[in-house]
Structure 1
């Protein structure tokens, strides 16, 4: 992991944002890890990828962190979404307190188990806790009930199951489990 630099994405890196996302959607675990298919990702316009990268680079309500190797290749990514109190989340639930939501977690297979995922999560949480407004009460994420590998990592990192279980938006018969990381005291 030492050769990788974890940093926020820049707006002009939209082609790399697209490439990494499509690599994630090709991963064998994609069906239980993402709410998008490879076909949907490949069908998105360049304008959408440019908008996505620009929004993630702006760093106000969203921030994407990437791990860049010395050769310029990205080894992984995580995106942080800020959810304001009183808004509605993707599962149509009202957000009771300002929080962050981690999405789009992906590390290339060759980099798994190297500490890269931990470095990405550390950067994401550091950014979330450093926001002055809104002050976030917690960071959360959802994991498919059958994605045991991801669930095990999240627990090792310090996330705990909240007990909230929701249907997966793309397959209501599948369940998503909410994990939370409370704001440190």
Structure 2
């Protein structure tokens, strides 16, 4: 399967919303996201428009999506920089739809996040993953992330903090 990957555009807020709602229906969404389908589906259009504007070109964050040849949006990751002068960019909202996992999409998403971070002078990517989300942990390790030893307590439970250099070691 082939796909393209790119940063979202401001006017694609409907697609951003639809992909997020799809992600929140994933069986492990309760572990992976700090939101619920019910809450997100009640948000007004203005919420999604603002979210897209913040992550599109010119915004302070970057949301990257994977798009199949047939136009289906099936993966996403958002990267946030400038966090109290930290040298790392925070990656959130990582999702690849079932049926597309193993396609190289997650690696491509992280590579785009890393390129975005490098352009901003940042040196590493950081993410948090629920201690019980073993599927995601394995994917992140495959993509060059390692645990820092730090564990955070969030609304959905305990999460490992993982980092990888912006330029990963060769695989």
TM-score by length of 1: 0.86
Unmatched 5+ stretches in structure 1: 87-96
What do the CA deviations read for 1:124-164 (whole angstroms, capped 9, x no partner)? 11111122xxx213210000000001001111111110011
Q: How many residues align?
A: 168
Question: How far apart, CA to CA, are the structure 2 residues paired with 1:49 and 1:76?
Answer: 17
Comparing 9-18 with 58-67, greater Cα deviation is found at 58-67
Aligned pairs for 1:95-106 (under 5 A) are 97-106=86-95
Out of 136, 144, 155, the residue aligned to residue 150 of structure 1 is: 136
Question: How far apart, CA to CA, are the structure 2 residues paired with 1:18 and 1:121?
Answer: 21
Question: How far apart, CA to CA, are the structure 1 residues paired with 2:65 and 2:58?
Answer: 13
Question: How far apart, CA to CA, are the structure 2 residues paired with 1:40 and 1:70?
Answer: 31
Deviation at 1:65, TM superposition (A): 0.3
Equivalent residue number for residue 26 of structure 2: 27
What do the CA deviations read for 1:22-45 (whole angstroms, capped 9, x no partner)? 000000010100000111110111
What do the CA deviations read for 1:54-86 (whole angstroms, capped 9, x no partner)? 111034420000011222210111000113335
1:7–1:145 distance in 2 versus 1, CA, 3 Å: same
RMSD: 1.5
- Residue 109 of structure 1 aligns to a residue whose secondary structure is coil
TM-score by length of 2: 0.92
